[in-house]
Amino acid sequence: MPVSRALLTALAVGAVTVAGVVVAQANEPVPADQQQPLIEDFGYPNAARILAEDHVELVSGDGHILYVPCAAQPPNGIGQLEVHSSDLTVGKNEDGIVCFKVVGIYGQITLKIPDVYEIRGDGFGDAAGHKGTAEVVGQTGERKTVTLEPNGARQVGIGQPGGKPETLLRLDIKP
């Protein structure tokens, strides 16, 4: 029995020593020329290029609402969300139209698109589009949330009778 206690004591001391070395190494600073650990900030990929080229500010998202080139919508099926702006410098074609593809049941994107007057759902024909909301802000700073029309268009800003210009700040998709 004395041998096994000695062996157990030696193993315990060894384990504590190894754990101390691992903790000490984990706290060492990483040299500047080495890659830092990746931390997800949910920043939108290529946001600076998209802002410079398309005048659309994509801030962050969960990856389930993607900024895409606008394409012909299907006569019956799920297409793309369309955001219409009266600012004709906005969009890949500089026509005020910006498109997004929903690739999940849930999705979120934070962005800034000025002078939005209409948000078109992605459902066409018999196919039910995605449900969700949009957050817009007016010139006075007042924010409001509107419900999207999955198979139709929601008028916002100057698209409403007596409406004032509004900036689209966020899209949320949920069942």
Judge whether 142 and 169 are in contact, CB under 8 Å. Answer: no
Work out the mean pLDDT of the chain and round it to a whole number.
85
Pairing between strand 107-113 and 97-102?
unpaired
pLDDT computed for residue 4 by the predictor = 60
**Tokens representing residue 20 in the block:** 């101390």
Residues 105-152: tens digit of each pLDDT = 999 999 999 999 999 999 999 899 999 999 999 999 999 999 999 999
Report the alpha-carbon angle 75-169-124, nearest 5.
10
Residues near 23 by beta carbon (within 8 Å), at least 6 away in sequence: none
- DSSP three-state, residue 29: coil
pLDDT computed for residue 167 by the predictor = 98
Q: How far is CA 135 from the centre of its chain?
A: 14
For the chain, which ranges sit under pLDDT 50? 1, 8, 15-28, 30
Q: From CA 33, how far away is CA 1, in angstroms rounded?
A: 53
Torsion of Cα atoms, 119 then 125 then 128 then 134, to 10°:
0
pLDDT computed for residue 45 by the predictor = 86
pTM for the structure as a whole: 0.75
Classify residue 80 by burial, with Cβ atoms within 10 Å: 0-12, 13-18, 19+. Answer: buried
Q: From CA 93, how far away is CA 10, in angstroms rounded?
A: 72
pLDDT computed for residue 98 by the predictor = 98
Q: From CA 161, how far away is CA 133, in angstroms rounded?
A: 20
**Tokens representing residue 150 in the block:** 């999955």
Q: From CA 60, how far away is CA 56, in angstroms rounded?
A: 12
Judge whether 116 and 157 are in contact, CB under 8 Å. Answer: yes
pLDDT computed for residue 25 by the predictor = 44
pLDDT computed for residue 156 by the predictor = 97
pLDDT computed for residue 149 by the predictor = 97
